[in-house]
Chains A and B, each alone.
Chain A
Amino acid sequence: MNLLETRRSLLEEMEIIENAIAERIQRNPELYYHYIQESSKVFPDTKLPRSSLIAENKIYKFKKVKRKRKQIILQQHEINIFLRDYQEKQQTFNKINRPEETQEDDKDLPNFERKLQQLEKELKNEDENFELDINSKKDKYALFSSSSDPSRRTNILSDRARDLDLNEIFTRDEQYGEYMELEQFHSLWLNVIKRGDCSLLQFLDILELFLDDEKYLLTPPMDRKNDRYMAFLLKLSKYVETFFFKSYALLDAAAVENLIKSDFEHSYCRGSLRSEAKGIYCPFCSRWFKTSSVFESHLVGKIHKKNESKRRNFVYSEYKLHRYLKYLNDEFSRTRSFVERKLAFTANERMAEMDILTQKYEAPAYDSTEKEGAEQVDGEQRDGQLQEEHLSGKSFDMPLGPDGLPMPYWLYKLHGLDREYRCEICSNKVYNGRRTFERHFNEERHIYHLRCLGIEPSSVFKGITKIKEAQELWKNMQGQSQLTSIAAVPPKPNPSQLKVPTELELEEEDEEGNVMSKKVYDELKKQGLV
Chain B
Amino acid sequence: MEPEDTQLKEDIKTTVNYIKQHGVEFENKLLEDERFSFIKKDDPLHEYYTKLMNEPTDTVSGEDNDRKSEREIARPPDFLFSQYDTGISRRDMEVIKLTARYYAKDKSIVEQMISKDGEARLNFMNSSHPLHKTFTDFVAQYKRVYSFTGQEIKKSKRTILDNCFERTQYWEFEKDKDREHDKLVELCKIQFAAIPWDKFTQVAKFSIPEDTEIFEGSLDLEQMRLRRVQTGIKLFDSIKPTNEEEKIVSDQGKQKGGDSKGKKRKIRAVGETRLKKSKK
Contact = CB atoms under 8 A, between A and B. Distances in A.
Q: Do A and B come from one complex?
A: yes
B168 A25 contact: yes
Nearest to B189: A408
Contacts of A384: 180, 183-184, 187
30 contacts: A4-B146, A16-B82, A18-B160, A18-B164, A22-B167, A26-B172, A49-B165, A60-B173, A90-B153, A94-B153, A97-B149, A106-B101, A106-B105, A107-B106, A108-B109, A109-B109, A115-B98, A119-B95, A123-B94, A129-B89, A386-B60, A387-B180, A387-B184, A391-B187, A393-B18, A398-B194, A406-B190, A406-B194, A408-B190, A408-B194
Nearest to B106: A107
A119 B156 CA distance: 39
B95 A116 contact: yes
Contacts of A386: 60, 64
Contacts of A39: 158
A393 B187 CA distance: 12
A302 B186 CA distance: 85
B256 interface: no
A61 B67 CA distance: 12
Interface in A70-106: 79, 83, 86-87, 90, 93-94, 97-99, 102, 104, 106
Contacts of B120: none
A255 B156 contact: yes
B89 A7 contact: no
B126 interface: no
Contacts of A132: 86, 88, 90, 93
Nearest to B103: A112
A83 B157 contact: yes
Interface string B162-193: 01110111011101100010011001101101
A278 interface: no
A4 B101 contact: yes
Contacts of A205: none
B241 interface: no
Interface in B48-69: 60, 64
B150 A60 contact: no
Given A59-B168, A113-B113, A128-B265, A8 B145 contact: yes
B141 interface: yes
A406 B93 CA distance: 51
B78 to A, nearest CB: 10
Interface residues of B, number: 85
A16 B169 CA distance: 18
B147 to A, nearest CB: 11
A32 B252 CA distance: 61
A106 B161 contact: no
B155 interface: yes
Given A15-B79, A125-B266, A29 B188 contact: no
Contacts of B160: 18, 21, 83, 86
Interface stretch (B37-45, B206-214, B215-223, B272-280): B272-280
Interface string B129-160: 00000000000011011101111111111101
A59 B187 contact: no
Contact of A407 (B86, B157, B190): B190
A: interface residue count bin: 35 or more
Contacts of A131: 90, 276
A168 interface: no
A150 B278 CA distance: 9
Given A102-B149, A125-B266, A255-B158, 8 more contacts: A8-B142, A15-B80, A99-B150, A112-B113, A126-B94, A127-B91, A131-B276, A405-B190
B145 A11 contact: yes
Contact of A391 (B151, B155, B188, B279): B188
B184 A98 contact: no
B231 interface: no
B95 to A, nearest CB: 6
Contacts of A112: 98, 102, 109-110, 113
A130 B187 CA distance: 42
Interface string A267-286: 00000000000000000000
B263 A22 contact: no
A22 B81 contact: no
Contacts of A123: 90-91, 94
A106 B173 contact: no
Given A26-B172, A61-B176, A398 B89 contact: no
Given A19-B79, A97-B149, A123-B91, A406 B187 contact: yes
A135 B86 contact: yes
B52 to A, nearest CB: 14
Nearest to A396: B18
Contact of A395 (B101, B191, B265, B266): B191
Contacts of A382: 176, 180
A15 B82 contact: yes
A22 B164 contact: yes
A250 B188 contact: no
Contacts of A369: none
A248 to B, nearest CB: 12
Interface in B87-119: 87-95, 97-99, 101-102, 105-106, 109-110, 112-113
Given A5-B97, A97-B151, A131-B276, A32 B193 contact: no
Contact of B273 (A130, A150, A255, A409): A130
Contacts of A424: none
A476 interface: no
Contact of A5 (B60, B73, B101, B167): B101
A523 interface: no
A32 to B, nearest CB: 5
B14 interface: yes
Interface in A391-423: 391-399, 405-411
A343 to B, nearest CB: 40
B142 A4 contact: yes
B157 A409 contact: no
A124 interface: yes
B128 interface: no
B24 to A, nearest CB: 15
Given A16-B82, A104-B105, A128 B110 contact: no
Contact of A252 (B149, B158, B183, B276): B158
Contacts of B191: 391, 394-395, 398, 406
Nearest to B187: A391
A251 to B, nearest CB: 8
Interface in A228-270: 250-252, 255
Contacts of B14: 392-393, 396
A5 B169 CA distance: 32
B38 to A, nearest CB: 15
B17 interface: yes
Contacts of B194: 395, 397-399, 406-409
A15 B175 CA distance: 21
A7 B17 contact: no
Contact of A59 (B18, B161, B172, B180): B172
Contact of B165 (A25, A124, A389, A392): A25
Contacts of B113: 109, 112-113
